[in-house]
Structures are given as C-alpha cells and as structure tokens.
Chains A and B, each alone.
Chain A
Amino acid sequence: MSTELQKPKTTAGGGQKLPGRESADRKEATQGRWAYTLLAPSLVLLAIVIIYPVINAIVMSFQKDSGLDATTGFFSEGGPAGFDNYIHWLVQQCTAPGGGSVACPPGTLGAQFWDSMGTTFFFTLVTVAFETVLGFWMAIIMARAFRGRSLIRAAVLVPWAIPTAVTAKLWFFIFAFEGIANKLFGTQILWTGSEWPAKWAIIIADVWKTTPFMALLILAGLQLIPDEVYEAARVDGASTWQRFRLITLPLVRPALMVAILFRVLDALRMYDLPAIMTQGANGTTTLSILVVQQIRQGFNTAAALSTITFLVIFLVAFIFVRFLGANAVDAATSSGKAK
C-alpha cells in the first residue's frame, strides 16, 4: 500500500528529486496507513449495518415471494423472479388468478406505487419550499442584533428536539375535529379524515418540526458574510432588496443548497408523520409507508420497492450534487484545506 502510494509521485516528479520531496511522500504514506487504521472500525461497522443489508435486499428483490401460487393453487417456495418484482411496481402488474398478469386492482398495494411516488414528491416539494422560505426569514431575524436574541435561538430548538412521533400525536390532537385548530379558525374540517386537509395537516406538522433546522443552517451561513460587505454596499447606495439579492443570496448559496439537500433527502423518506397521523390513508401514503405495508405481504416484493426507493433518493442526491452545486462533501473538506 505504502509503496503504491509513493511510486506515481516520484515518477511524476520527472526524475528530478526535489529536496524533502521523498520524505514528504513517506510522511503521507505513513499518515495514510495510520488514517485507514483509525477509519477501519467505522467503515467496517457501516459496511455491516448498511452495505450488507442493501446487498441482501437487492438479492431478495430478484426472488419470488413464497406463498400460494395463483396459477396452481399450491404453495410455492419462491425461486428466481428476474425483474418481475420491479415490473410489478413500475407498471403495476399483478399476477392474475388464471396465470399471466393483469393491471393491479385498485386498493391493492401494487396499484399504489405511482400514487405514493407522487405523494412523496408532493410532500417533499411543498414542505421544503415552505421550510426554505420560512427558515430564511427566521435566519435573517436571528442574525440581527436585538435583546432576547438568544431566547429565540433557544426557542427554535424546541420543535427540533421533540421526537417526530410526539410531534405527530401533538398535531393530530391540534387537528382533531374538536381540536384547537378548528376552534381557532371557526372551521369544521375533518383534518386527518379527508384527502387535502390530511395532506396539509402533515405538511404543517413537518414544517413546524423541521424549519428550525433549516433556519439554523442558513443562519450559520449568514454569519460567515462579513459586515464590511454590507457596509460597502450601503455606502454605494444599494437598497435593502438589492443587498439581499446581490449579496446575501449568492454568498449564502452554498450553505443554503446543502441545507436544502439535507431536507430534500430527509423529506423523501418521510414516514413517521403520515404513518402516525393518517396511517397512510386519504392519499398520504409515501414510498416508505408503502414499503412497510408490503413487508407484511411479502419480503421480496418489499425488497424490490425499498431498492427502488433507495435508487430514487440516490438519484435525487446525485442531481443535487452534480447539477445544483449542493456539495456537502466539498463544504466539509474545504475548511480543512484552508487551514
């Protein structure tokens, strides 16, 4: 390992030996070995708890679920399924009682794939949009110097600290038919009992819980902008809106993109709030809920769906990092390099 590390560097030097070059290489090589020794326990543990289950899930997803065979009526042991489980979800084809495949009847889990995909992306888009705008506003307020600022900064941590399961129950109570929300607004809405109110109840609960996280990340970005920049802009006669658009926004962009990336990936795996508030009823079934419901009906079909969910989230993360410049890894390494 160490020789491999050294070789390309010395040849890259073009035969010319720079003083101290070789010892620097050796230092990096020993550092490398030491670094991987320190990293090994974490990497091995993560491999066991993440990579092994993922590979397991991929293998499972290409197997048939054991159970009563619809065509023969006998118990079947499973066996290789090819891409059948994936096709089952993506084109919503179920096995027909007489053999062959038909469109999954409405109400079955198989028929809900694209709906729940749509629901997941709808929740993600709407909650992250609200959280970004609200979080930005909160961050701007928190960045100002005023008495009681630390009180606000402490207060925003309260929704963040409350377990999501408790948040779900709390908002379930607030949105109860006789609950405070209906009384406050003089409405008589069955919040968790009909489609759009249920969606909005979940969105509001999620926005309440996670906006503080967004606000704190944006605030940290805002605090990196030196005051002199604003001072200079003010001297040059820039208006408040111009200062925001031309200074704040571009300078806070890296932090903002990372915050949005974190929140998007988190929202795409949303489970707790809809699972507790509506049990996925009334068009609130997210991909995660669909996977959990499918587990009880067949591991292998569920494994295919969880693999699809994983790939969707991976793809979104890739698009963010590649095309929108949300480079969390870069943000994490750059400060180390700067020193």
Chain B
Amino acid sequence: MTTATVSRTSATSTDRPKRPFNWGSFRTYISAAIILIWCLAPFYWMVVTAFRDVGFTFDTTPFFTHVTWDNFATVFDESLGNHFGKNLLNSLIVGVVTTVVALVVGVFAAYALARLNFRFKFVVLGFILGASMFPGVALVTPLFQLFTNIGWFGTYQALIIPNISFVLPLTVYTLTSFFREMPWELEEAARIDGCTQGQAFRKVILPLAAPATFTTAILAFIASWNEFLIASQLSNDSTKTVTVAIAYFAGSQPHQEPYTAVMAAGTVVTIPLVILVLIFQRKIVAGLTAGAVK
C-alpha cells in the first residue's frame, strides 16, 4: 500500500529533495545477493565438504562441522593407487611449458596484428580466432594414432602440443587487444631518438607490455590447467594431470564414490586459481573481454 503511494508521488514529482526509501537500490542489493549466493554457494559447499568427516558426507549443516584434515591426507595417500602429488606436478609442467611457448611465440604475432598494416590481416585474425574455437576432439583422433605410432604416448609433449592449439590463439588474441591500448607514442619517440623498429620493440615496448603479458600468462595457464579431454585420452599413469586424476579418483571402497576426498582434491586444485583470480580480478576481466567487444 505504501509502496504504491511512494512510487506514484515519485513519478509525479521527480525532484523531491528526500526520498523515504529507495526501492531501486534495494532491488539491486537483493539481485546482487542472489548472484553472490548462486556463484559462491556450490564452491563453498565443496570446501565445507572437503573439511568434513567421511561419516558425515551427506550432512546438510550449512557451516563447517565435523572438521578434519583427513580428506586431504586421503587425497595424497598413495596406497589407494592415486598419485595426486605427481598429477599436480604434471599439470604444472604441462601448464608452464604450454604458457611459456605460447607467450614467447604469440607476443610477436600480437605485436604485428596490433601495430602493423599488412595484407590479409583480416584472414590471419580470422584464422587465429577460428583456431581458438577449434574442437579438441578433432585433434584427439589423429594425434592418438600419431603419438602411438611414434612412441610419444605418455610423454609431456603429447599433452603440450595439443594444448598449444587452443592456448596459442587465446594468447595472440588477448595480447593483440591489450597491445592496441598501449601508449605507442613512446615507440615513436624512441624511433625519433634513433632506435630501429626492432630496438624500439625490445627496449621500450616489451617492458611496457609486461603487465598485459602477465595477465595473458595467467589466462593461458588457467586454460591449460583446466584442460580435460585431451589429457584424458593422451596421458598415461606417468603424465596424468590433476583434472583427469580427480575425474577418476579411486576410493577405498570399490563401489563407493569417495565424495569428501574428491571435494578435498577439488579444493586443492581450485584454491590457488581462485586466489590468483581474486588478486588480479580487474586485469583478468579486461583480458577475458578484450577483443570480444570494442
């Protein structure tokens, strides 16, 4: 009843000095709370379960109860046939090598795409964008046979090479949009001062581009760290990555899903990423949306 009168009066006289209650911002806060809960509740539930005693797996208490570190011990326990420490290391190796290769190679391509005019630029950009949308499953079949034939099955390069197929386009694309927004007048200034284009690139632009490159590196690493399809098909026990390990995590009972241990493993894999993402939030959002809208 009161709301109806409030909205009618505010509609007739918009320049009232004081409003009794701002329904618009109230609704914004309610919506914001819903978004917050929707995004964080499942993640929170994973962490709560990770710290919960196995006997209380399906307890519905919404806060930390029956807290224990046992699940994390189970995750790293090798007696059940899991090698989670090794899997973490594998993911790290594949992720770091993929990221470094993609950055070292991609930074030059991004510079060319952002700064230089040349023929078929449109075609090159289209090819790189198309490559980033390429279905991984179309690579798995031929690579499965190829790597089996040349004895690469279960090597790191068997995972790194297909990962480059989607991390490199992502790197080039993100860096290109970052590079467009850099103060390139400085490059001009350096050239006037007698630098060649190559020197200007090395001495002025590269240090300037470091933050953008770092953000792109985070995005590239996350993309590689999260990869599942290729790793599940082209790795063996010695190169298995964490995502594959979590998907096929072995419990102590053969027909019982080790939920709490899996949630603990998920927490171990996710927490570093979440911390990284929260610290570099602004940059990552800029990197994610770069290029898609301009």
Q: Is B259 an interface residue (CB 8 A)?
A: yes
Interface residue? A262 (CB, 8 A): yes
Q: Out of A142, A159, A183, A328, name the residue touching B60 (CB < 8 Å).
A: A183
CA A173 to CA B60, docked complex, whole Å: 12
Q: How many residues of A contact B (CB 8 A)?
A: 105
- Closest partner residue, chain B, to A288 (CB atom): B137
Task: Answer whether residue B220 sits at the interface, using C-beta atoms and an 8 A cutoff.
Answer: no
With a cutoff of 8 Å between Cβ atoms, the chain A residues found around residue B49 in the complex are: 173
Which chain A residues border B246 with CB–CB below 8 Å?
163, 165-166, 169
A110 part of interface (Cβ distance < 8 Å): no
**Bound Cα distance from A239 to B146, whole angstroms:** 62
Q: Which residues of B contact A164 (CB under 8 A)?
A: 226, 228, 243
* Main SS class of interface, A: helix
Q: Is the CB of B138 within 8 A of A307?
A: yes
A309 proximity list for chain B (CB < 8 A): 135, 137-138
Interface centre among B116, B146, B161 (most CB of A within 10 A): B116
CA distance A158 to B242 in the complex (A): 18
Q: Check if B263 sits within 8 Å of A173, measured CB to CB.
A: yes
Q: Using an 8 Å CB-CB cutoff, how does the interface string of B90-116 with A read, 1 for contact, 0 for none?
A: 000000000001000110110111101
Kindly state the separation between the CA atoms of A208 and B137 in the bound complex, as whole angstroms: 23
- CB neighbours (8 Å) of A161 from chain B are 222, 270, 273-274, 276-277
The minimal Cβ–Cβ distance linking A319 to chain B, given in whole angstroms, is 14
B31 at the interface (CB under 8 A from A): yes
In the complex, which of the residues B113, B165, B244, B285 contacts A165, with contact meaning CB atoms closer than 8 Å?
Answer: B244
Q: State how many angstroms separate the Cβ of A207 from the closest Cβ of chain B.
A: 10
**B-side interface residues toward A, CB under 8 Å?**
25, 28-29, 31-32, 35-36, 38-40, 42-43, 45-46, 49, 57-58, 60, 101, 105-106, 108-109, 111-114, 116-119, 121-122, 124-131, 133-146, 161-162, 164-165, 168-169, 172-173, 176-177, 180, 197, 222, 225-226, 228-229, 232-233, 242-244, 246-247, 257, 259, 262-263, 266, 269-270, 273-274, 276-278, 281, 284-285, 288-289, 291-294
